[in-house]
Amino acid sequence: MLVRDAMSTVVLTIGPAHTLRQAARLMSARRIGAAVVLDPDAGGIGILTERDILNSVGAGQDPDREKAHSHTTTDVVFAAPEWTLDEAASAMSRGGFRHLIVLDGQGPVGVVSVRDIIRCWAPARARAGMLTR
């Protein structure tokens, strides 16, 4: 199975000036764990995850004052829609990530998460187990 088959194509895109509270509200409303941050001044595309927000709040920072750009990961590993889920999982494991931004030639087309991969792998593994019984 390929990344394009598992990824979420509804991508939350925010700007670097969004507060962490604004980002958290948008992520919560969409039930997602990451937002793509478009910041042309900082090199283009980054990612803000629920863990980034949690770390900030846990450090005592004010989510109404903290801006996304201060917490965005800009050294991002991108996935291609043609990658296998094994390739995506391997990249996540090597980098310690739970989300990968999926890029095609035009820009972000999706986000694939560990949850997406498990959702796709679990039924396939269950079917394979039934075949071996």
All structural domains of the chain with their residue ranges: 3-131
**Confidence tier at 17 by pLDDT (50, 70, 90):** very high
Rounded to 5°, angle at Cα 51 from 45 and 54: 120
Architecture of domain 3-131: Roll (3.10)
**Confidence tier at 132 by pLDDT (50, 70, 90):** low
> What is d(CA 6, CA 113) in angstroms, rounded to the nearest whole number?
9
pLDDT digits (tens, 9 = 90+) for 54-107: 999 999 999 999 999 999 988 888 999 999 999 999 999 999 999 999 999 888
Judged against a pLDDT cut of 90, whether residue 7 lies above it is answered with yes
Reported pTM: 0.85
Higher pLDDT, 43 or 55: 55
State the CB neighbour count (10 A cutoff) for residue 71. Answer: 20
Query: Looking at residue 121, what is its pLDDT?
Result: 86
Query: And the tokens for 32?
Result: 């997602």
Percent of the chain clearing pLDDT 90 (strictly above) = 76
